[in-house]
Amino acid sequence: MKFENNILKDLYESANGLFAYTFYSRYSIEPEEMFFFIEKYTQKGVLKYENDKLNLTIEGRDIILKQLFFNKKGKGKYSNLPQEFVQEKLEINSLYLPNITKVSAEILKLKKVE
């Protein structure tokens, strides 16, 4: 969920943690969703919830640090293609013949519509 990433980022940037109500007022999160968020990340050891205040654990800070700064993916529309779809770049006007053995049988069975 998108709000989870925002909460984790806000917690990482806070010096002394934040009250749970802060996220309700900031993101209009329903209390039930906030409860599930707290439970989920407390069980994972990412955050601790004491006296209505959320704080990241040391392990949680390390995880968020890695996600924020070391897991950057490209922003282009082709930057996140699976590796099996990436091929050599073809030169402009070069000849290209597709490998027909990798074409779906459904496509090969199509007849021309007249």
| pLDDT attached to residue 48 | 92
Check: CB of residue 3 under 8 Å from CB of residue 29. Answer: yes
| pLDDT attached to residue 87 | 75
| pLDDT attached to residue 12 | 87
Domain contains 112: no
Q: What is the pLDDT along the chain (114 residues), one digit of tens a residue?
A: 677 888 888 888 888 888 888 877 888 888 888 888 889 999 999 999 998 899 999 998 888 887 766 655 566 777 666 777 777 788 888 888 877 787 777 877 776 555
The Cα 39–Cα 83 span in angstroms is: 36
Domain CATH code at residue 63:
1.10.10.10
Residue 52 sits in which domain range? 2-69
Query: 24 CB contacts (<8 Å, ≥6 apart)?
Result: 31, 34
Query: 73 CB contacts (<8 Å, ≥6 apart)?
Result: 79, 80
Q: What's the domain count of the chain?
A: 1
